[in-house]
Structure 1
Amino acid sequence: MSELIKVKEELKRYSIARIPFIAFETIERTRALDTLKEVADELNLCFYVHSMSKGIYDIKTGNVITDERSVYGAVDFFSEQIKHKQYMTLILTEVPDISSDNSDAKQLYDLAMLANESGGVVIVLTNNPVWNQLQRLGMTVRLDYPNEDEMYSIISDYINDYRSSISVEWDNNDLREAASSLTGITQIEAENVIASLIAKKNITKADLEEIKQTKDRLFSNISGLEKISVDNSAVTVGGLEGLQKWLDEKKTLLTPEKRDEMKKRGLHPPRGILLVGVPGCGKSLSAKAISASWKLPLYRLDFATVQGSYVGQSEQQLKDALTMAENVSPCILWIDEIEKGLAGSSGDSGVSTRMVGQFLFWLQECKKQVFVVATANDVSMLPSELLRRGRFDELFFVDLPTADERRTIISMYMKKYLKLQFAGDFSDKIVEATNGFTGADLESAVRDIAYRKLANDSFEYTEQTIMEAFENVVPLSKVSPERIESIRNWGRERAVPASGRPIGAQAVSSSNSPKTRKVLI
């Protein structure tokens, strides 16, 4: 049973029971009124709707009863009618603030009491809190955004009306993919997206990629979430074969068939990974690489932004940001240096502790396709609750690159920045000389060579100039060897090596390239 059907059944039961006050929580007025019209038709009851544009009208026929546009006038009109007629139902589409015991809330309270005496019902469409004393007179019904199954029906019905007049390449799997991408927005927003495709008079497979990016435009200003632009053609991470293999396996679960199978088995979508380890070794870059590989939008959650100065503000803003992440799903949620946002500090009155609990509860209970990629450098600051098995799908340790990984990284940046191949005897010397370098150190050295070439046309790539570029870099492993060893010791006991090799394995492997004195070709 879909969520919409459950809401409809609740409304039917409450209408039959003549519950005097119903708070219908929703921001989708049209969808809510359509549901209430179905209830009125099936129960053969008279439902009257008040709106500021039409006044009071019959929900089944659309006939206007009175053109009273004011909410207060509608309440007065219904108060008089309800004294003489039984089983009347009034739906208020726009109400003033009724969150406290103000005059407006008290007026509705009196109307609900009158309705209770004559078998009437007052239904309020709202997305705001309701005064507790008024709420206790009745029930609450919540209409969430269309779920994936409902969105599938919305898209299918909309497109089917045009299949005879336009070209539609989408099959059933494509419709499921589009429904998954648009889950988290309103029905009218989804219809607008599909209508824009229909206007082209040609719906192609390529349009699915546009669908996945649509929410970026619908949710452009999100407090606490920053949309990160990713160049799919430029994001590559060298090495980390163990992590890449794990991610490739999880990527297969994104297909509609696999998602349906997970639902049948009661399995949540993959929650995410926690990447810890040596700074500058590709943890943050991995988040962008996952976004590019999985073709999902990337959002960065900044805990500094959600921190507030008032009591409860930080927790509320974190809740809003996480809720918004669900609304923009499917997506990748990147939390960089998570230890800085969730680590406790003296004098914060327990705010950090509460935020940790709030985040972990969301991480465990979230049923939407939000894949979290959290990174951490200072493992000593990580809350112990974050490391418990089951919080993240896996905890990976990103170590200093091994010899093979250094060769891959240097080759990648040589090709990218210098348009040159990395091979030969001298390449082995560079790989050996860069033992202890991070990925960032290697990129810095190659980038420096590119800068020198661009600044000086007479600059030549020689063994000496290239080796000097790497020798000028002082790697972190030499600056803070104790810190690196401490991080490694932590990783050996608690994490899976992202490289697929034991942590600390730094053996140099020889190149299989032809032996030649030319470093680069």
Structure 2
Amino acid sequence: MSNYAESLKDLDSYISARVPIIGVRSIEQVRALRLVKQVAESPRRASLPFWVYTRATGLRDLRTNAPAQEDRSLTGAMDFAAQQFSSRAQATVIFVDPEDLSDDNTASRHVAELARLADANSGSVIIVTDTPLWAGLERLGMSVALDLPDATEMYEVIVEFLRDHHGVVPIAWTEQDARRAAEFLVGVPEGTAINVMATLVARGSVEREDVEKLAEFKDKHFGALAGLERVRLRDAETEVGGLTSLREWLRRKQRIMSADLRGTELRPPRGVLLVGVPGCGKSLSAKAIAAEWRLPLYRLDLGAILGQYVGQSEGRLREALDTADRLAPCVLWIDEIEKGLAGQNDSTGVNRRLVGQFLFWLQESRHRVFVVATSNDVRSLPPELLRKGRFDELFFVDLPDAEDRQEIIGMYYRRYVSQPPAPELLDKLVGLSEGFAGADIEAALHEVGEQVYLNGAESVRPDFVMDTFTNTMPLSRTNPEQIEEIRGWGRERAVPAGRSAVTASAATGHRGRRVMVFGD
């Protein structure tokens, strides 16, 4: 049942019970008034009076919109309500954002007196507001929280809007496109969603590629938030070489991410934690996932989350994660997560609270936010973050083997030299790049690309390319102890991101954690 349906059911029961004061909390006045009007138009209430007061229109009949009196002031509306509650039974008066009723003040006490008058004659006062009511008012009645439209309700809004414009402009969207659009627009008010759709129609047509553009509208709606930023992708950042098992696993998760899970107990994928050797494609994977899945990519900067005041860090993280939910569907990239959540030397308890808050969100959120977290020093992460069931999987990104290096070299060679390498040169480069990370291979071929730019492709001879690889000193040689320690941890505790656990075991002599088995 959608939140709107639940709110409708609750409000209907409160009015039937003649609760003296009912709070309807929502940031969407129009939608909240539609909810109240829907309850008022029930056939069994046809003889009961309903009036509504707004600052712009004064006091009017809720059903007919006819003015109830000439005095359009709030004081006049309250006097009218007091008179009705004193002289007739089962009257209902709705006030839309009348005054600040969040604390003990004159306006709150005036409304409390109206509620007592209403209670004496089976009447009801309904307050539509976007702020919490004063506790003294809450104790006199009940409240309804009308959330923003969920995916099902947003889909109905989109379909109804498109139905009204069929024959007016060409509309290429299928049902699946409309459902994807609804997922993109979850988290924005209904009025904003209608404005977005109207903007698309105003261009003269609604094309299938317009679905992805809805993420840009969402960016403009939510604006910038400290700690959460949109990452714009370049074509060169959408290719990943190697990591065969990880890429196959992600293809399976993509099908679940985009599937209609209504009527099942399944939840959208939570995300993946990538640990391993620096420079082997962990951060690049986050960008490639967003590009392949055609989802916006947002980066959560945990360093910007941390504040100097008590509770500030927790509040910022909560706001950032809530915003990520509203931006769904999306990919949320947390680079070097250990720098924000390690807390080995934290005596304040802030990091522990941040970890608990993040894990609670990761466990409970049902929005389509796919988290890609990366870590170079997994030993400093809190153990609860590594427990099975937090992320969907923990992958270890190792140094690429010969087959993966061949793929990576070919990818970067084509990018920087604008042609594939000769087969015999490629074989030699694979041997020379033993111990290279993907970043080391890119750095060497970027230097080759500079030579091409300065002196032309004819100046790049095989000897120059091989010398460039020979002179490149990878991290596995400059700091072998650290790299071997990282690799030793990952071989036993994480799923290999490379071709398979069996292959990794044969190549390294170590037992893999387990072999991944994928469905069709």
TM-score (norm 1): 0.91
What is the deviation of 1:383?
A: 1.1
SS, match of residue 334 in structure 1: strand
Query: 1:414-450, CA deviations, whole angstroms, 9 ceiling, x for partnerless residues?
Result: 1111112123323222211111111111111111222
Residues 201/420 of structure 1: CA separation in 2 closer, same or farther (3 Å cut):
closer
Distance 1:472 1:110, change over 3 A: farther
Letter of the 2:427 partner, please give it.
D
CA contact (8 A) 1:10 1:141 kept: yes
Correspondence 1:215 to 2:218: yes
- CA offset at residue 504 of structure 1? 7.3
Distance in structure 1 (CA, Å) of the matches to 2:160 and 2:327: 23
> Is 2:243 the counterpart of 1:240?
yes
CA contact (8 A) 1:414 1:421 kept: yes
Q: Counterparts in 2 of 1:392-471, with a 5 A limit?
A: 392-456=391-455, 460-471=459-470
Which residue of structure 2 aligns with residue 13 of structure 1?
Answer: 13
**Displacement of 1:459 after TM fit?**
8.1
Output one character per residue of 1:89-128: Cα deviation in whole Å (capped at 9) or x when no partner. Answer: 2222224433333343333333333332232222222222
Matched-pair identity in %: 45
Q: Distance in 2 between matches of 1:333 and 1:267?
A: 20
Q: Quick one: distance in 1 between partners of 2:327 and 2:207?
A: 23
Partner of 2:137: 134
Matches within 5 A, 1:58-457: 58-66=61-69, 68-232=71-235, 234-255=237-258, 258-259=259-260, 262-347=261-346, 349-456=348-455
SS in 2 for 1:344: coil
More moved, 245-254 vs 457-466? 457-466
Deviates most, 401-410 or 193-202: 193-202
| Offset of residue 203 of structure 1 | 2.3
Deviation larger for 223-232 or 195-204? 195-204
Q: CA deviation at 1:161?
A: 1.7
Instruction: Map Cα deviations across residues 473-512 of structure 1 (whole Å, 9 max, x no partner).
Output: 22111122121111112212221111133457768xxxxx
| SS in structure 2 of the partner of residue 452 of structure 1 | helix
Aligned-partner Cα distance in 2 for 1:438–1:461: 23
The match for 1:23 is 23
Call closer, same or farther: CA 1:453–1:101 in 2, change over 3 Å: same
Change in CA separation of 1:266 and 1:232 when aligned onto 2, cut-off 3 Å: farther
CA distance in 2, matches of 1:254, 1:361: 20
Once residues 453 and 505 of structure 2 are traced to their aligned partners in structure 1, the CA distance between those partners, rounded to angstroms, is 37
Which range moved further: 387-396 or 223-232?
A: 223-232
Q: Which one-letter code corresponds to 1:9 in the other structure?
A: K
Q: For each residue in 1:106-151, what CA deviation from the matched residue of structure 2 results, as whole angstroms up to 9, or x when unmatched?
A: 3333333333223222222222233223212221211111112111
Residues 1:36 and 2:36 are matched in the alignment = yes
The alpha-carbon distance between structure 1 residues 30 and 445, as it changes in their structure 2 partners (threshold 3 A), is same
Distance, in Å, in 1 between the alignment partners of 2:385 and 2:182 is 32
Q: Deviations over 1:193-237 (max 9, x none)?
A: 222222234323232232344322322323331011113565101
Identify if the C-alpha distance between structure 1 residues 442 and 83 changes in structure 2 by more than 3 Å, giving closer, same or farther. Answer: same
| C-alpha RMSD of the superposition | 2.2
Tell me the distance in 2 between the aligned counterparts of 1:34 and 1:111. 24
Alpha-carbon distance between aligned partners in 2 of 1:104 and 1:23, rounded to the nearest angstrom? 15
- Residue segments in structure 2 that go unaligned for 5+ positions in a row: 509-520
Aligned mates of 1:110, 1:157 — CA distance in 2: 42
| Distance in 1 between residues matched to 2:109 and 2:441, nearest whole Å | 69
Distance 1:472-1:93 versus aligned 2 partners, 3 A rule: farther
Runs of 5+ unmatched residues, structure 1: 508-521
The residue that corresponds to 1:485 in the other structure is 484
Flag the 1:278–1:71 CA change in 2: closer, same or farther, 3 A: farther
Amino acid at match of 1:253: I
Query: What TM-score do you get using the length of structure 2 for normalisation?
Result: 0.91
